[in-house]
Amino acid sequence: MSAGWSGDAPAVPSTPQAAASRFTGRTVTASRPLTGTLTEVSLDDGRVVVVKRGDRPDALRAEAAGLRWLADAGTVRVPRVHGHDGRWLVTDRVPDGRPGERAALRFGRDLAALHLSGAPAFGSPPPGGCEDAYIGLAPMRNATGDDWPRWYAEHRVLPYLRRAVDDGVLRPGEAAVIEDVLERLPELAGPAEPPARLHGDLWNGNVLWGADGQVHLIDPAAHGGHRETDLAMLRLFGCPHLQRVLDGYREVSPLADGWQERIGLHQLFPLLVHAVLFGRGYAEQALAAARTALR
């Protein structure tokens, strides 16, 4: 039996060019690296794809499942998934464009429609996705729940808070401030809402302004969650024409009263993830968000 084979399964491609050819069925005509893990590959039919190399098979599986789940809603634009295996993910390339107010307004409307398409439960993974998934480089567990405050505390904030303390990024006394927020979540969370279909990692780097005049989303950590979490992450890391995005969003799905006061509450999750990955500066931002939420 040849190395790299298991039964009748095809061998995993050894290069991004081979992966592109395998999953599209086309001949590669050119390629160029984009980053350490991304390669742009041109095909003989004129299309261009991006090949992503990954060292964690579950992460690629979760990303592919997330892109397909978002696409199934028929709302936001996402690159088509051509295929994936334990090492490679092949998707369409989004030609670069420039941010514009018209695209931002449409994106807001589409994002609201995506959220309204719903999810079976808070924390539910996409069909074909993983319970043990990732947000960026950090593990993210998609355990489900019906009560958002309890689920958010247990599965989105506490795992990273505990690790931040264990790693010395946060002191126990500082962690107590965030724990106070979690204890008060039922009163701070606002009106109960059904689970929304979230992108889940909606920072500016995952929002691509395409040459077609539309916004395309990449690299999701998709799951069922609270729609304000996606909006809070857009604000946390900046988004061109954010006010127009919000205008479009509220045309389709008005936000509950007090949503602006809850932004810091929803930012605790991504800030603690970043504190675990990148250190003290983000821990201090998480503390500031917690103190604001408690006012």
Q: Identify whether residues 118 and 61 lie together within a single domain.
A: no
Catalytic residue chosen out of the listed positions 110, 201, 219, 230: 201
Q: What angle do CA 86, 25, 33 make, to 5 degrees?
A: 60
pLDDT interval class at 2 (50, 70, 90): very low
Q: Identify whether residues 146 and 238 lie together within a single domain.
A: yes
**Residue corresponding to tokens 């989004």:** 94
Q: How far apart are CA 197 and CA 70, in angstroms?
A: 8
What CATH number should be reported for the domain holding residue 70? Answer: 3.30.200.20
pLDDT at residue 295 in the model: 83
Q: Identify whether residues 49 and 24 lie together within a single domain.
A: yes
Q: Identify whether residues 109 and 51 lie together within a single domain.
A: no
Task: Examine the pLDDT at 177 and tell me if it is beyond 80.
Answer: yes
Q: Considering the chain, what is the average pLDDT of its residues?
A: 94
Q: How far apart are CA 175 and CA 101, in angstroms?
A: 40
Q: Identify whether residues 181 and 250 lie together within a single domain.
A: yes
Model pLDDT for residues 137-150, shown as the tens digit of each residue? 999 999 999 999 99
Average pLDDT over residues 237-263: 96
Task: Examine the pLDDT at 250 and tell me if it is beyond 60.
Answer: yes
- Eight-state DSSP code of residue 86: S
Closest CA to 219 of 46, 47, 73, 94: 94
List of residues 6+ apart from 64 with CB closer than 8 A: 81, 84, 89, 128
Question: Where is the domain boundary, 93, 118, 136?
Answer: 93
Residue 157 phi, psi dihedral angles, 5° rounding = -105, -55
pLDDT interval class at 5 (50, 70, 90): very low
Closest CA to 134 of 65, 212, 207: 65
List of residues 6+ apart from 112 with CB closer than 8 A: 227, 248, 249, 250, 251, 252, 253
Q: Per the structure, how many domains does the chain have?
A: 2
List of residues 6+ apart from 254 with CB closer than 8 A: none
Task: Examine the pLDDT at 8 and tell me if it is beyond 60.
Answer: no
pLDDT at residue 6 in the model: 36
What CATH number should be reported for the domain holding residue 182? Answer: 3.90.1200.10
**Collapsed DSSP state (helix, strand, coil) of residue 132:** strand
Question: Where is the domain boundary, 75, 93, 111?
Answer: 93
Task: Examine the pLDDT at 252 and tell me if it is beyond 50.
Answer: yes
pLDDT at residue 86 in the model: 84
Q: How far apart are CA 218 and CA 94, in angstroms?
A: 9
What is the percentage of the chain residues whose pLDDT exceeds 90?
A: 91
pLDDT at residue 1 in the model: 28
Q: Identify whether residues 179 and 221 lie together within a single domain.
A: yes
Task: Examine the pLDDT at 166 and tell me if it is beyond 50.
Answer: yes
Q: Identify whether residues 167 and 138 lie together within a single domain.
A: yes
pLDDT at residue 237 in the model: 86
pLDDT interval class at 80 (50, 70, 90): very high
Q: Identify whether residues 73 and 125 lie together within a single domain.
A: no
Average pLDDT over residues 237-265: 96
Range of the domain at 114: 95-295
58 a catalytic residue: no
Neighbours of 45 (CB within 10 A): 10
Whether 131 contacts 142, CB under 8 Å: yes
pLDDT at residue 10 in the model: 60
Q: How far apart are CA 234 and CA 207, in angstroms?
A: 9
Q: Identify whether residues 211 and 269 lie together within a single domain.
A: yes
